[in-house]
Each structure stands twice: as structure tokens, then as C-alpha cells.
Structure 1
């Protein structure tokens, strides 16, 4: 189990928000925290702690410059997602990203677009691609949600679909959308399912808020999954010590 840190960018600033409130015209974005530090500060912090596989997420437009500064500050140490397409993916790889992360570009109109996926692989290579299968529960099953997590796709996340998607990427990133950013505890059922289904490096994000949660995550995930923690960390306005998380996961 590795700790995979995150730098979420909104309006050019490092923030922690409730991701499920993005993209709604009649609902304000819920912000948990806005940092006084820029993206390079956190990139350098993660570099100093030798944390790899973390991700920079651009939440909407206007974040490109801050994202590239972070990638420049920690070459090959961070992944990047948010608005990634076959046309711009190589720009971010050339700027220092180890991988690009994609969801909505390959999932639109409720379906998986294999043509777009193949274009991305042609642009940067399978070994530079992370597929984000951010999902929500519906009728007792997990389904990928897209367009800032506002739309359900018809793509069910299960053992069969995970096995298929692993053929097209280097890693998987799974946001548990219903709990992400809420510091309310992880979706234990999803963690258990992912531990059974995945065979490539997979990072889970959503709801982890304490060292006790980390221990439970490690147990349920059979020490097989990596973990991202955002809003709960003290560096992002929460109560959980970033240093304690780094130390625990390195042990």
C-alpha cells in the first residue's frame, strides 16, 4: 500500500472541494479548503518525501499553468488529469507528468468510446495512461460517472470490465464519488471489490480520514491497493497529520 498524494486545482489555486458539487448549474461548488501555497509548494513537498504516483487534477479550465508548474517542479513524480484528450496529452507528458489520467474523454454519451481510448494510447502509450473509473452505486452495482461526476454511464465496474480495461492502461484510479471530499469514511464495499478485481496498480480515493481508517483500508484492500487522501489532511485544512500518513504508509 502506497500513499498517493493529490494536488487539486480550481480557478488556478490549490483547493479541496466536494467533487460531486462540480458541474451543477443550480448548485454552488462546496469548497473545503483553499491553500495559501501554490501548486509547486506541494509538488516539492511530495518530491522531498519521495512520494510517487500522486496526481494533479485540473477541476475545470484556467488551471493549466498551475498544473504545468507542478509537473516541472517534480518531473516524472506526478500524474495529471482533468480535461485530458489525445490532442493535449503529450503536452503534459513532455512537461514532466509520469502519466495522464482520463475519464470523460473516453466515456461520453453514456458509453465507452474505444476510438478515443485508442487515440490516447497512440498519443502517449499504454504505459503512460491511467484510466479513472470514478463510480457511484446504483441498484447495488457500481457505474462510472462522467462530466464532473454529474452523469451516469452504462459502464458497470465489475470483475469483467476491470479485466478488460487493464489491457489498455498502466494503472487505475477509482474515486468513490458518493464519499469523496466528505471525510465520512471510505466505501468499504468498493474497496473490498477492487482488491478482488484488480491486477495492476490501483489507487482508491474517497473518505479516508484517520490512521484507523488507513489500517482498515489496508485490511479490507488486502494490502493490494494504493490510497489517496485529500480534505482530511492537515496540509489541506483537515485533522489528519500528513506526516503521520507518510510515515504509516512507508512502514
Structure 2
């Protein structure tokens, strides 16, 4: 079994790290450069930086912040938000990121996964999939435009398509659980894990160490991403990793 990863997420808006509940009611959580350095010191295996307003504001990711964060850390660093072309992917990598995360743009143009994988290699391409359970459909649907548009696309089918087109990793976020601290959507995560041959990162809902443990043991996620519990000091990366190792989880 591959080593599991603990991944803090820096959601960025107006140059600051923010965190809300179900993508709204955002609270300030600090400076991205300071937090990135802190999380590396704590033992984070990777970081994810998401410029959450870029797509809706019709602009590119803030490359100056990416550069500053990249200068402070040595761990792998994924950047997403407002990336719509291969040229923009290359610019983000050139600014210091290790991987690029693509969501809405790839939904509008699925071949972006293929083009990115061919230009940069699949290991650098992350399919960011935001998901919401739709009662009428009885399943999870893909959400785009920063949580504002629920599509008719089935999450599991979209994850399979993304992987087949060239995405080397899936970042799967439950919008229903986001910021709720009620645990990851294990059923959805496992459904995607079972459907694809690439690593799946569970996101949305981390509240306790038990939630991280469940993501690995019940859903077989390759990594567990969290924000609120780390940003607001409810637990720490160091504490989570120590306890998971004690429970027998093989971490990086």
C-alpha cells in the first residue's frame, strides 16, 4: 500500500488565506506565505493552494503569491484557480508549483487534461472535482464555478473521464461536507477510488483525527486534505500524523 499523505489546503482570496462552510461565509485564516512555511515545519506532506475567486472573477492565478510560497517550502505544492490554458499551466509551474489543479476549465474543455498531460506530464495534472449530492438524482453531481453551478455530470463518471484523458490525480471535494467538520464523504470517495487508477485525495469535512483515519482505512484515499482544523488550531499536522502512525497508517 502506498504511503498516505496529509495535505493542508490554502484557499486564497484577495491575497489572504480564507475558510468558509460549503464555500460561503469566508473567514480570514492568515498569510499564505507564513502558513505554508508553518505547515512544512509541522510535517505536511504536500500543500494545495487554491485561488478560489480567480475563475469567477475571470482572471489568472496570483503568480506573485505562488512564487513567494514556493520560495519558502520544499514539499510538493499544487496550485489551482483560474487556470484555463496550457500556457497558464506552464506559468504556474515556472512560478514554483509542482502540480496544477484544474476544475471548471476542464469541465468546459475536457481535452485540457490531455493537453496538460502531454505538455507537462500526467503527474503534474490534478483534476479538481467539487461534488454535491443531488437528492432527485440519488447520486453526486459535479459542481463548477466555485460552487455556484451544479451540473448534470455524475462525479464518478467525470473522475473516470478525467483520469482517462490524462489527469494523474483526483482532488475530490464534498461541497456538502466542506467546513462542516462532520467527516469526509467516505461513500463518495470510495466510489471514485474504486473507479480510477490514479491517486484520489479526500477533501471536505475533516474534523477529527478519526476522520483522517477513516479516509485512509474505509475509503482508501491516497491523501487527506484539510483546512479549518489546521488553520484555526483545532489540531495540528504534527498531532494528526503522530496519532495516525500510532494506529498503523503508513505515512510519508
| TM-score interval, smaller chain | 0.7 to 0.9
Structure 1 residues 47, 237: CA separation in 2 closer, same or farther (over 3 Å shift)?
closer
* SS class of match (2:6): coil
For the pair 1:248 / 2:243, whether they are aligned, the reply is: yes
Of 164, 168, 171, 1:170 maps to 168
Q: Give me the whole-angstrom Cα distance separating, in 1, the residues matched to 2:191 and 2:179.
A: 21
Q: CA deviation at 1:93?
A: 0.3
Aligned to 1:211: 209
Q: CA deviation at 1:76?
A: 6.0
Provide the aligned length of Structure 1 versus Structure 2: 233
Q: Give me the whole-angstrom Cα distance separating, in 2, the residues matched to 1:162 and 1:248.
A: 31
Q: CA deviation at 1:157?
A: 2.0
Unaligned runs of 5+ in 2: 55-60
More displaced 10-residue stretch of structure 1: 126-135 or 149-158: 149-158
- Give the TM-score normalised by structure 1: 0.82
For the pair 1:11 / 2:7, whether they are aligned, the reply is: no
Of 112, 129, 151, 2:125 maps to 129
* SS class of match (1:133): strand
Unaligned runs of 5+ in 1: 22-29
Q: CA deviation at 1:101?
A: 0.1
Q: CA deviation at 1:178?
A: 1.0
* SS class of match (1:174): strand
* SS class of match (2:140): strand
* SS class of match (1:107): helix
Q: Give me the whole-angstrom Cα distance separating, in 2, the residues matched to 1:189 and 1:126.
A: 26
Q: Give me the whole-angstrom Cα distance separating, in 1, the residues matched to 2:45 and 2:203.
A: 16
Structure holding more helix per residue? 2
- Give the TM-score normalised by structure 2: 0.82
Q: How much is the aligned-residue C-alpha RMSD, in angstroms?
A: 2.3
Of 225, 228, 233, 1:231 maps to 228
Q: CA deviation at 1:125?
A: 3.2
Contact 1:32/1:231, CA 8 A, preserved across alignment: no
